[in-house]
Amino acid sequence: MAHIEIVREVDLGVDEAWRRVTDWSRHGEFVPLTTIRATEHGFVARTGIGRLSFDDPMEVVAWDAPRYCRLEKRGRIMLGWAALSVDPLGPGRSKVTWAENIRVRALPRLFDGLTAFASRRLFARVVDGLLSPRR
């Protein structure tokens, strides 16, 4: 299992940072070829084109707004978990942490380094996009 952690200190209060990183519908804006669909207990990220697509269902298993959320990946291809936390740094500032353990079911452990590298780049893009001012 590949482990990644992305940490950002931002000029946003805890509530606003939390609102942005847990806006599941916007996550797809920053992941190529991906759309997000809400479900009763989380969401499904669908990635790909046509028949070359796969679903990455995620279930929210812990929710302590506006501080902590844990998601479990329940798909046939992507496995693992993600944890999002927001901590106060002072008035109007917070620290956002996205930690994730991820594994591609069909890949042997030998590829964990490559999975971590690609995931770190992808999820940094997601976090940075969600936390940046809208254009």
Say if residue 135's pLDDT is above 70: no
Q: What is the pLDDT of residue 36?
A: 95
Q: What is the pLDDT of residue 43?
A: 95
Residue 64 CB neighbours (<10 A): 9
Q: Which architecture does CATH list for 2-22+58-131?
A: 2-Layer Sandwich (3.30)
Looking up tokens 């209060």 gives 13
- pLDDT tens digits for 8-26? 999 999 999 999 999 999 9
Confidence of residue 49 (pLDDT cuts 50, 70, 90): very high
Confidence of residue 116 (pLDDT cuts 50, 70, 90): very high
Assessment of whether the complete model's pTM goes beyond 0.85:
yes
Average pLDDT for 94-100: 98
Q: What is the pLDDT of residue 133?
A: 85
CB neighbours of 22 closer than 8 A, spacing ≥ 6?
A: 65, 69, 84
